[in-house]
Structure 1
């Protein structure tokens, strides 16, 4: 496969945009050399690049487009509001309707405030926790990849350039699934931890009793429990992971699936905390979320349509069914090719990722490059196997066929003890790295 127009477009993008994309995870370095398609358009679970190639797409919009591109109900809702005005000097009635629908869908939350991106919502949760407790430290789960673009988190990653150590020093970490180790962190920093921030689940299901135990620890040590539901929200269940597992956090943040590609996120939680950012508190006020575009009518209308679609059509169950079909197929063809221990599928069925391991069963960027090259040239685009509800069973079966061919090449590379002949250029790279 050759992508001459995409290659030229990538050069132009790099000339004008740092990194060549507005999101690092969409960067050219995440794809094999000269195989980073620039997208023209999409519909359902398919996208077309500017060279005219069609792909079955996974991980759409970094997990955001869970209903598929140009979903008719969502698109019509947004279009209707655009014709009525996008932004006003006072709240629109759409804000009330969106809040009402959200709180009906996620009944464990008592109040909600909308924004445009997940980073702002999660940082707002941290700010609320610090204001409510009067404590400076944030404790984050070290086993979860991303929480915010803001300094309190990014300062803990290899891309910490430009962030003072004094800020980084206000963030500590704890391991997922280990209550004794988390309690040790709270003891070590007694009376200084404002909040525990984590994804309630990700690639691994929470151990039995873990989230309940974490809830008890937060109460015992007087800190705020924050669930980052950017990924789990709606994909795990219509009521989020908190609804599925039956553990209510003090605050939670949502985004991605909430807008099906439209820019909308949410901070939700207990009234006593949320009101610190409102007009009905006797305490010092918190400048919570106050964004010019936070209440754009078309994005909130899209969110309403998404929430209605999820609850009325049982989208979460469909995502799980599609993911199960895909995971089963991939595991079968990997086993047939003799690479079952090298090409692995992980995670909840609605949120699958793949691992590419070398002969010693260690993660390998070289083998990831080989695998991605085979997927892209076979007409499958995706850095993961995260499904959208727009996928058909035929799409899944086609993907499994492409993976089967990729696994045969993978086996050849393992037998040769050298994937280099199949890379086509430099290997793909992790997002978080200190140097380019």
Structure 2
């Protein structure tokens, strides 16, 4: 029974911090991203639910940072992985699964002509940048300035407040949705690529993506779409499939493996062949990873692609997200906090905003809101759905949000969120000091 205390999770968090820098292997999953004393340590998950070491059952959102779109331990994915594990996972030469997975992926993402698999998003975005530099002869990378994350590698992390240990990088930025301002960036010269997420919380302006591609090519740069989040959420082929604009290179991961470690770099043959063995140009050391093509991860990816195609997963994600968004907006309005508790983004990729009395983002009110959700049995830093959620799960979530909004209203009326926070406020991932 939930009491608002997680003694075993708190003890497990202390062990994590003693052994692992940051207390985990992903900063976005850090204890500091959750209310004090309410950072559950998970034992297992099934479908849209997870359980912590204290024995609590939660409805989970944002599963695996958007990686588990079919739900935990999806039977079809697990069976595909089990079958390959019994046949060996890594060999001294490529396996036939590499052919099959590549064919399946390129059939799913028809804007690409070649693909190379890896294990994480940072590796493939950095490989895309390396290809762009080699192909164009330029050195500077232009990243979309409003978007939070592209890679753990120096070319991107050097642009964040967590830049200790990183030498100066030739990385610049451009604003989303503003072609004129982007052209000014490109006029500065030596830009190898523009890299961006096609869509975050709002749809691109009409003609923007086509215009961005034309601008990049006019100034001798490549256009790279980071489809880590949008891939297998906007459509099976990502946002490029939804909007019909072909990038030069694109990167996929997260939902591609439903929690198994697999990512993909895809793009035009002319560019991708720079990392191959049958091209006369100077070679690019593209991606060469011992575990990049483990058979069980590629089998997971193929099972995911088959499930999406056969079961209409994209439509279900949007249906579930739409039901959740409507419910949350209704109860927030009913409690008089619709201006302060907001649901944003595409239905398949919802986030929540928690605003203070000044209608600006508030870590204090986010802490209050998350505390109420977690003690009510809802876990997640977002409202990103998986297809494993049931309508009952959504309705229970909305009921929990209603209770959280009632507390939110009290805090606003008292102008004192601290009384309901239970400790320090949640913190941003990117900050100079811990």
Query: Which position in structure 2 is the counterpart of 1:42?
Result: 45
Counterparts of 1:76-91 in structure 2 under 5 Å?
A: 76-91=79-94
Q: 1:222 offset after TM fit, Å?
A: 1.3
Q: 1:219 offset after TM fit, Å?
A: 1.6
Counterparts of 1:229-268 in structure 2 under 5 Å?
A: 229-268=227-266
In the aligned structure 1, how far is the partner of 2:241 from the partner of 2:420?
Answer: 45
- 3-state DSSP of counterpart to 2:283: coil
Query: Which position in structure 2 is the counterpart of 1:181?
Result: 181
Counterparts of 1:239-318 in structure 2 under 5 Å?
A: 239-318=237-316
Query: Which position in structure 1 is the counterpart of 2:408?
Result: 410
Cα deviation code 1:371-421 (max 9, x no counterpart) = 000000000000000000000011000000000000000000000011000
Query: Which position in structure 2 is the counterpart of 1:159?
Result: 162
- Counterpart check, 1:109 vs 2:107: no
Equivalent of 2:100 in 80, 97, 100: 97
- 3-state DSSP of counterpart to 2:12: helix
In the aligned structure 2, how far is the partner of 1:49 from the partner of 1:101?
Answer: 36
Q: 1:424 offset after TM fit, Å?
A: 0.4
In the aligned structure 2, how far is the partner of 1:120 from the partner of 1:66?
Answer: 21
In the aligned structure 2, how far is the partner of 1:244 from the partner of 1:221?
Answer: 26
In the aligned structure 2, how far is the partner of 1:157 from the partner of 1:408?
Answer: 36
In the aligned structure 1, how far is the partner of 2:160 from the partner of 2:194?
Answer: 18
Q: 1:220 offset after TM fit, Å?
A: 1.1
In the aligned structure 2, how far is the partner of 1:133 from the partner of 1:433?
Answer: 34
In the aligned structure 2, how far is the partner of 1:338 from the partner of 1:359?
Answer: 12
Deviating more after overlay: 82-91 vs 202-211: 202-211
- Contact kept, 8 Å, 2:256 with 2:262, in 1: the verdict is yes
Spell out structure 1 runs of 4+ moving beyond 2 A: none
Query: Which position in structure 1 is the counterpart of 2:357?
Result: 359
Cα deviation code 1:47-95 (max 9, x no counterpart) = 0001100000000000000000000000000010000001000000111
Equivalent of 2:386 in 385, 388, 391: 388
Q: 1:314 offset after TM fit, Å?
A: 1.2
Query: Which position in structure 2 is the counterpart of 1:349?
Result: 347
Cα deviation code 1:270-310 (max 9, x no counterpart) = 00000000011111000000000001000000000001111
- 3-state DSSP of counterpart to 1:25: helix
Cα deviation code 1:134-170 (max 9, x no counterpart) = 10100000011100000000000010111012x2xx0
TM-score normalised to the size of structure 1?
Answer: 0.98
Cα deviation code 1:256-275 (max 9, x no counterpart) = 00000000000000000000
In the aligned structure 2, how far is the partner of 1:398 from the partner of 1:207?
Answer: 36
Q: Extract unaligned runs of 5+ from structure 2.
A: none
- 3-state DSSP of counterpart to 1:173: strand
In the aligned structure 2, how far is the partner of 1:421 from the partner of 1:25?
Answer: 26
Deviating more after overlay: 309-318 vs 6-15: 309-318
Q: Extract unaligned runs of 5+ from structure 1.
A: none
- 3-state DSSP of counterpart to 1:233: coil
TM-score normalised to the size of structure 2?
Answer: 0.99
- 3-state DSSP of counterpart to 2:84: helix
Query: Which position in structure 1 is the counterpart of 2:5?
Result: 2
- Counterpart check, 1:23 vs 2:21: no
- Counterpart check, 1:61 vs 2:31: no
Count of residue correspondences: 431
Q: 1:234 offset after TM fit, Å?
A: 1.0
- Contact kept, 8 Å, 2:186 with 2:216, in 1: the verdict is no
- 3-state DSSP of counterpart to 2:116: strand
Q: 1:239 offset after TM fit, Å?
A: 1.6
- 3-state DSSP of counterpart to 1:95: helix
In the aligned structure 2, how far is the partner of 1:176 from the partner of 1:200?
Answer: 9
Computed over aligned residues only, the root mean square deviation of the Cα atoms, in angstroms, reads: 0.5
In the aligned structure 1, how far is the partner of 2:167 from the partner of 2:99?
Answer: 40
Cα deviation code 1:218-237 (max 9, x no counterpart) = 12111110000000001000
